[in-house]
């Protein structure tokens, strides 16, 4: 039996960080209040003082704090990203999560003692890419994009000395992680450049009697009938008229839920399991952390089975009220 | 008929100005304690409305740049939810995004302003205020 993987939980605020740690997260990840991270929403994220408080809270309890600086440095503003790395190092965080090769080189050169993780936004899906990041920049952990099957994840783990982190729960997005510029089509902004997909300033929810329209920069991306579950207002999860049929032309709003394959993830040697959702509230972080903690602790037992109470907790939190094992159990390669 | 059910017909006919002013007054009282570093510049000159979904009534507040004020509609952004769901959000028993997915919480108008407010409330340490509440009303975790 492999070692128990770390549980890595999201924090968009100090109360969320404390909730994650109080309910069993081994590690919490967070971001600064700017475009250097991929959840750059108004009012979300951390200033220096809050990171300092968060790091102190985590370290006092033997837990870790990671800082996501996982967008791509933009021409003319590279200094902003360098400053974020310098600040993270000065604040004593346990690692930074980077995607941009130039930033990996900067961090490796400037802060040789700083642990580096390769972000999911780095889009490294094979051992060669991960090993290159390890050899060039000393990357110690890589977060795999949510596009690999379980046998593929196992194959990657077998061919790299780098720790492998995978997603365990949370909203899914279209399968072009680190390369998606779909929202630029409507807004001119995308996760990798501005740190945000569907910036709130472009989003309008318009009541239409009992129905509700979702618009992004004026483009109608969905219309929810009365009582129909809503999702995040992203283009990839919109319903579009394609040759006379209106449907989820790209993908349906849905959440990843890996409770059923936790023993398998542990067996193949995954080092860490990550929860999506820095944009969510402390209530979400509490519920998901507590559930994943219980499940990971139980998954080492040969008699492990997914408890109905866990599903009852996670199901209502899921976007679109659907859950999936995602690519982990797909037959295709 | 529940107590709330009996009160609804009455509440529906009450003016909105007194509760709006009361909320603004309360916010001015607790502002420094709860949000010592927040200048609310993003709220200056804007109005936010909280509607009680089943009641068709609500409160509207604004920020002058110095103080919160009771206002009248229309607002720049309007939230709507049941009283029970507002209370669950305030106690951190419910996740606002979850209620939004379930169509129990709606947000109309300036989404960015609404998100800024939601994230401020998520980031607020209610400890200093909750300590004043009777124990049964306090959330499990501050």
Per-residue pLDDT of chain A (333 residues; tens, 9 = 90+): 578 999 999 999 999 999 999 999 999 999 999 999 988 888 899 999 999 999 999 999 999 999 999 999 999 999 999 999 999 999 999 999 999 999 999 999 999 999 999 999 999 999 999 999 999 999 999 999 988 999 999 999 999 999 999 999 998 877 677 778 888 889 998 888 888 888 899 999 999 989 999 999 999 999 999 989 888 899 988 999 999 999 999 888 888 999 999 999 999 999 999 999 999 999 999 999 999 999 999 998 999 999 999 999 999 898 876 788 888 887 665
Q: Are residues A22 and A95 in the same domain?
A: yes
DSSP-derived pairing of the beta strands A27-30 and A6-10: parallel
The range of the structural domain enclosing residue A151 comes to 6-172+254-329
pTM for the model: 0.93
* Cβ atoms A199, A187 nearer than 8 A: yes
DSSP string, A185-234: HHHS--HHHHS-SS-GGGEEEEEETTEEEEEETTEEEEEEPTTPPP----
Interface test with B, best of A211, A283, A284 (most B CBs within 10 A): A283
Nearest to B103 among A18, A227, A316 (CB): A227
B94 touches chain A (CB under 8 A): yes
C-alpha distance from residue A258 to each of A129, A144, A163, A175, B121 (Å):
25, 14, 19, 17, 30
- Which residues are within 8 A (CB) of A324 and not within 5 positions of it... i.e. 6 or more apart? A172, A254, A255, A256, A257
> Of A215, A230, A248, which closes a domain?
A248
* Cβ atoms A155, A125 nearer than 8 A: no
Of all residues in chain A, the one with the smallest CA distance to B106 is A205
Of all residues in chain B, the one with the smallest CA distance to A284 is B95
Structural domain contains residue A168: yes
Of all residues in chain A, the one with the smallest CA distance to B119 is A43
Q: What value of ipTM does the predicted structure carry?
A: 0.89
Can you give the length of chain A in residues?
Answer: 333
- B6-53 pLDDT, tens digit per residue, is 777 777 778 889 999 999 999 999 999 899 889 999 999 999 999 998
Q: Are residues A47 and A129 in the same domain?
A: yes
Structural domain contains residue A1: no
Provide the pLDDT for residue B137: 67
Backbone φ and ψ of A52, nearest 5°: -60, -45
User: Could you check whether the bond before residue B74 is cis, i.e. omega within 30 degrees of 0?
Assistant: yes
Q: Are residues A148 and A92 in the same domain?
A: yes
Ranges of beta strands (E only) in chain B are 47-52, 57-63, 68-70, 77-81, 106-109
- B63-88 pLDDT, tens digit per residue, is 999 999 999 999 999 999 999 999 99
Task: Tell me whether residues A42 and B93 touch, CB distance under 8 A.
Answer: no
Q: Are residues A266 and A222 in the same domain?
A: no
DSSP lists the bridge partners of residue B35 as none
Instruction: Please report residues of B whose CB lies closer than 8 A to that of A205.
Output: 106-108, 111
Q: Are residues A203 and A295 in the same domain?
A: no
Instruction: Please report residues of A whose CB lies closer than 8 A to that of B119.
Output: 12-13, 41-44
* Cβ atoms A8, A25 nearer than 8 A: yes
Structural domain contains residue A130: yes
**Distance spanning both ends of chain B, measured CA to CA:** 34
- Judged by phi (left if over 0) then psi (alpha if -120 to 50, else beta), residue A244 lies in left
- Annotated binding-site members of A for [4Fe-4S] cluster: 173, 180, 197, 236
* Cβ atoms A80, A34 nearer than 8 A: yes
Can you give the length of chain B in residues?
Answer: 142
Task: Tell me whether residues B115 and A42 touch, CB distance under 8 A.
Answer: yes
Q: Which domains does chain B have, with CATH numbers?
A: 3-124 (3.30.1050.10)
Of all residues in chain B, the one with the smallest CA distance to A14 is B123
Provide the pLDDT for residue A151: 95
d(CA A154, CA A17): 31
Backbone φ and ψ of A272, nearest 5°: -155, 145
DSSP lists the bridge partners of residue A206 as A213
Q: Are residues A39 and A126 in the same domain?
A: yes
Structural domain contains residue A179: no
Q: Is B40 helix (H, G, I), strand (E, B) or coil?
A: coil
Instruction: Please report residues of B whose CB lies closer than 8 A to that of A280.
Output: 95, 97
Size of interface A-B (CB pairs under 8 A): 102
Structural domain contains residue A178: no
Q: How many domains does chain A have?
A: 2
């Amino acid at each position: 039996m492999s070692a128990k993987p770390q549980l890595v939980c999201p924090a968009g605020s100090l109360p969320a960080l404390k909730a994650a740690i109080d309910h069993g997260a081994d590690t919490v990840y967070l971001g600064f209040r700017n475009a250097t991270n991929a959840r750059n929403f108004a009012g979300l994220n951390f200033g220096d003082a809050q990171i300092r408080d968060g790091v102190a809270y985590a370290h006092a309890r033997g837990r870790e704090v990671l800082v996501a600086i996982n967008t791509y440095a933009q021409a003319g503003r590279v200094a902003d990203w360098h400053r974020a790395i310098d600040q993270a190092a000065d604040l004593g965080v346990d690692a930074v999560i980077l995607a941009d090769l130039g930033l990996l080189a900067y961090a490796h050169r400037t802060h040789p003692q700083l642990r580096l993780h390769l972000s999911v936004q780095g889009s490294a899906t094979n051992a060669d890419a991960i090993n290159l990041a390890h050899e060039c920049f000393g990357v110690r952990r890589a977060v795999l994009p949510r596009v690999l099957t379980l046998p593929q994840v196992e194959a990657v783990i077998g061919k790299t000395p780098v720790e492998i982190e995978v997603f365990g729960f949370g909203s899914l997005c279209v399968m072009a992680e680190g390369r998606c510029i779909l929202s630029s089509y409507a807004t001119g902004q995308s996760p990798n450049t501005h740190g945000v997909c569907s910036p709130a300033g472009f989003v309008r929810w318009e009541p239409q009697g009992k129905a509700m329209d979702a618009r992004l920069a004026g483009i109608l991306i969905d219309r929810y009938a009365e009582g129909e579950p809503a999702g995040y207002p992203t283009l990839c999860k919109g319903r579009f008229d394609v040759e006379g049929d209106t449907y989820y032309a790209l993908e349906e709003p849905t959440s990843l839920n890996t409770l059923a394959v936790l023993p398998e993830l542990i067996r193949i040697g995954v080092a860490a399991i990550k929860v999506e959702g820095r944009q969510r509230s402390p209530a979400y972080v509490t519920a998901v952390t507590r559930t994943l903690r219980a499940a990971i602790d139980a998954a080492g037992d040969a008699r492990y089975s997914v408890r109905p109470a866990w599903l009852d907790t996670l199901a209502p939190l899921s976007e679109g009220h659907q859950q999936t094992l995602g690519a982990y159990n797909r037959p295709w390669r | 008929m529940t107590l709330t059910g009996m009160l609804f017909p009455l509440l529906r006919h009450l003016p909105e100005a007194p509760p709006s002013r009361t909320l603004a007054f309360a916010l001015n009282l607790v502002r420094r304690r709860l949000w010592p570093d927040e200048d609310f510049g993003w709220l200056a000159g804007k109005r936010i409305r909280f509607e009680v979904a089943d009641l068709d009534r609500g409160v509207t507040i604004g920020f002058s740049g110095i103080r919160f004020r009771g206002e009248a509609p229309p607002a720049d952004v309007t939230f709507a939810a049941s009283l029970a769901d507002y209370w669950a959000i305030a106690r951190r028993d419910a996740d606002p995004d979850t209620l939004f997915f379930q169509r129990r919480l709606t947000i109309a108008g300036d989404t960015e302003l609404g998100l800024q407010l939601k994230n401020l409330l998520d980031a607020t340490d209610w400890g200093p205020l909750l300590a004043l509440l009777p124990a049964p009303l306090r959330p499990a975790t501050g």
